[in-house]
Amino acid sequence: MAIKKLGSQTILFKNPPSIIATGSIVGPKEGEGPLKNYYDVILNDDLKNEKSWEKCESKMQIDAINTALNKSNLTEKDIDYLFAGDLLNQIISSGFAARKLAIPFFGLYGACSTMTESLSLGAMAVDGGFADKVICVTSSHFSTAERQFRYPLELGNQRALTTQWTVTGSGAAILSSEDKGPFITHVTTGKVVDPGIKDVNNMGAAMAPAAADTIVQHFKDSGFKIDDYDLIITGDLATIGKGIALDLIKKEGFDITSIYTDCGIEIFDNKKQDTHSGGSGCGCSAVVFTGYIYKEMLEGNVNRVLLVSTGALHSPTSVQQGESVPGIAHAITISNKKD
């Protein structure tokens, strides 16, 4: 069989899967940010009538999924697979969300790269003919991430200026074999890249080389020129990581400055909202894509986007054992046209 691969890491879909609907839900802080008019649901508090932040995060995934299902007049019975992941140990937000849904479930872990990981695998399932419709969903929650990866919130620890603010939010997208844009046309799957950063308060620096590696490889593989894109947007490099990624990509001969930004920069007003380097978390690129970018594409304001969610593949245990923080980034091309 002919392999639909372009270069070493990129797939070109024969029948690009359509993103027929999305759902986005965010916490109160995100709901005060610059993209507040784009989200489907903004929570009044970060517990959502649940007894723990973890239960709230799981509930957000269910709500994001149901929002997308409602918009497309579908029910969970119409969905062949659920591709989901999150940041929590044993991805409990996703596992417990899947418990409430009678959909065959593939659990994923790509740290904050999980949104594009899920969209990559979901799109492969649809284009490969294994599914007619799939749901891809991820989430994060500031308070579940802080107490798991850093310090108890009650400690009131001072935050370093390089830190990022984990987004409270969940984004879901329904992919379908329907002939209706926007479409996922290309997938560039990342390798793990480890720049040797050991500062867990500087995730942007840890992930930037992986983002640069995937973006450069995408252009080499796909044959796209930079002008072919309206927007290139990474997941959560935030201010510090964005600068490093731009420099690394320039060194490889690609200047994407004019069309490049980062979801972690767009989601908060860093100065007013005191989020230091910017936003982060699986939910960051998930809600910026399913909320903001998707709706701008439907309006025709943006027609081709390279979405590059970025993940830091560490755990408190690996850090305690002296390991550095490797990064990974998965890119997908989303376009209003099929070709």
Site size with a copy of itself, rule: CB under 8 A: 64
Q: Does 194 bind a copy of itself (CB under 8 A)?
A: yes
CA distance 151 to 171: 26
Q: Is 280 in the site for a copy of itself (CB under 8 A)?
A: no
Query: Please, what's the largest Cα pairwise distance for the chain?
Result: 58
Lookup result for tokens 């376009």: 335
Beta strands at 5-6 and 10-12: parallel, antiparallel or unpaired = antiparallel
List CB contacts of 122: < 8 A, sequence separation 6 or more: 17, 81, 83, 131, 134, 135, 136, 173, 175
Amino acid at 320: Q
Per-position x/- string for 64-103, each x denoting binding to a copy of itself as judged by CB under 8 A, each - no binding? ----------------xx---x-xxxxxx--xx-xx-xxx
CB of 3 to a copy of itself, least distance (A): 6
Question: 158 CB contacts (<8 Å, ≥6 apart)?
Answer: none
Closer Cβ to a copy of itself, 88 or 167, answer by number: 88
User: According to the binding rule CB under 8 A, does residue 314 interact with a copy of itself?
Assistant: yes
- Does position 17 interact with a copy of itself (CB under 8 A)? The reply is no
- Under the criterion CB under 8 A, does residue 198 sit at the interface with a copy of itself? no
Alpha helices in 104-202 (DSSP H): 114-127, 142-149
| 67, two tokens | 């929002």
Q: Per-residue x/- mask for a copy of itself, residues 106 to 145, rule CB under 8 A? A: xxxxxx-----x--xx--xx-xxxxxx-------------
Q: For the CA atoms of the chain, what is the radius of gyration?
A: 18
CB of 148 to a copy of itself, least distance (A): 8
**Residues at the contact surface with a copy of itself, assessed by CB under 8 A:** 1-5, 9, 11, 15, 51-52, 54-55, 80-81, 85, 87-92, 95-96, 98-99, 101-111, 117, 120-121, 124-125, 127-132, 148, 177, 189-192, 194, 313-318, 321, 323, 326, 328
